[in-house]
Amino acid sequence: MPQALFTYEPVGATRDDLAFCPPGFHPMYGRTRLGEGMEVFRLAAEAVLTWELHRAMGVGIDATADRAAPGVDVTVTLGGLIKAPCRVVWTVEEPRRAGWASGTLAGHPECGEEAYMVDRTGDGTVWLTVAAFSRAQKWYARAGGLATRGLQHAYARRCGSVLRKLCESAAE
């Protein structure tokens, strides 16, 4: 069976620049301080790469692998109603950066790319960045207009607060 095609171009564009946004798309960029130190980085990176963050947020995750890797298909289910199929387009696992991005597939309410990146700066501070470029694909996403984009920004902020709590509780 052939793989589903991405619903946008340029696939993988967030790899080199999380703030990248092609013409005709809406940018989303949120950054949350998670804490400090190698243990916080390790816990946060693992939670992001293994879907633990998403599950802790209460969204359904149906993935073809237990860990993010290029080519892994993931369907996120919101509220049991909205299904958002996507595919991991890149991953990074380095001593100071770890994360992945997914691109939308047919059936997703939006088209575009979304990235989740944990990084540890030179002073040891650990951050989560959630970045995306997208535009409405389904009628209900188009009808939502600015409210849909507001929900995306709220989701990114919630990712940060949930991941910070995951790291705090695991470090205790």
Q: What is the pLDDT of residues 83-103, one digit of tens each?
A: 999 999 999 999 999 999 999
H or E element in which residue 63 lies? strand 60-63
Domain presence at residue 3: no
pTM: 0.91
| 60-63 and 73-78 strand pairing | antiparallel
Distance, in Å, from the CA atom of 118 to the CA atom of 172, rounded to the nearest integer, reads 20
Look at the chain and report how many structural domains it folds into. Answer: 1
CB 164 within 8 A of CB 34: yes
**Residue 128 sits in a domain of what CATH number?**
3.30.530.20
Domain presence at residue 162: yes
Domain presence at residue 76: yes
CB 133 within 8 A of CB 26: yes
pLDDT band at 142 (very low <50, low <70, confident <90, very high): low
Instruction: Calculate the dihedral angle through the C-alpha atoms of 54, 145, 114, 32, rounding to the nearest 10 degrees.
Output: -60
Domain presence at residue 10: no
Domain presence at residue 23: no
- Residue numbers of the domain that contains 114: 30-171
Distance, in Å, from the CA atom of 172 to the CA atom of 48, rounded to the nearest integer, reads 19
Q: What is the pLDDT of residues 42-68, one digit of tens each?
A: 999 999 999 999 999 999 999 999 999
**DSSP 8-state symbol, 69:** -
Query: Rounded to 5 degrees, what are φ and ψ at 11?
Result: -65, 130
